[in-house]
Chain A
């Protein structure tokens, strides 16, 4: 391949540098969007309490199966990451040493997230599969 063509295909310089900072930002966006769309549905299904007790119970009963149970686990995983990483973002912005320790704080976020999710999974899956 001629050298000039190869060169023209190379993207221009970018501000994004990958690594912990950028990937945590990507994960924060994705989890945020997921949580927002769940929230819209969550308000709509809860509003069924105003239609009738039977309507609400029917829809909630349709959620009580293993597939939705695993979906709830994924939702809680997204919320817990977004919450812990959000605290990290606040610390990066307001704590004097935040920017210096942002990588260490991300690994703390992931560690805490894992601990919370292991505990929650045991509890939630026993409700979902234990009947």
Chain B
């Protein structure tokens, strides 16, 4: 009689009784787990600086207006900073919500719908945010009227 073998906990094998869907997902879950830790460590730095510059330094929340945003995005460093922040935080947050949906939604169809809504929102927000950062104009001309600010050329 053959000795039953017990797989190592990290072999990726899930007992069929604990598997919702047949087939293996490869090492996607391990990559997602690692991504949460790597992106999390970077996000701590990106977000703490973001909060300090926007809410603590200067006039804090009272000083935030269009000119404040224009002043920041005039500097490519802040553009790249905010772009990285947007992508990492959205992917980190989306994966977190994905895990929570998988944990609490027991019906296959419920999970599919919730994740469909989640992924759609993520794509819309990431694409929108990226376009805004790259197409931002600090001195827009709207309906022939130029925006007036001390950093804009006189009309």
* A and B bind: yes
Bound together, the chains give a CA A44 to CA B132 distance in angstroms of 10
Smallest CB gap from A126: residue in B: B60
Q: B-side binding surface: helix, strand, loop or mixed?
A: helix
Bound together, the chains give a CA A89 to CA B59 distance in angstroms of 34
* Contact assessment for B56 and A49 in the assembled complex, using a CB-CB cutoff below 8 Å: no
Interface residues on B, range: 35 or more
* Contact assessment for A53 and B44 in the assembled complex, using a CB-CB cutoff below 8 Å: no
Given known contacts A43-B128, A50-B132, A72-B55, A36 and B61 CB-to-CB distance under 8 angstroms: no
Given known contacts A29-B100, A50-B135, A56-B69, A76 and B55 CB-to-CB distance under 8 angstroms: yes
Q: Could you give 29 example pairs across A and B, Cβ below 8 Å?
A: A33-B100, A36-B93, A36-B96, A36-B97, A40-B121, A43-B86, A43-B125, A43-B129, A46-B132, A50-B136, A52-B142, A53-B66, A53-B140, A53-B149, A56-B66, A57-B65, A63-B61, A72-B55, A72-B61, A86-B40, A86-B41, A90-B37, A93-B37, A94-B37, A120-B56, A124-B55, A127-B59, A127-B60, A131-B62
Instruction: Tell me the B residues contacting A by CB distance below 8 Å.
Output: 37, 40-41, 43-44, 47-48, 51, 55-56, 59-62, 64-67, 69-70, 86, 89-90, 93-94, 96-97, 100, 121, 125, 128-129, 131-132, 135-136, 140, 142, 147, 149
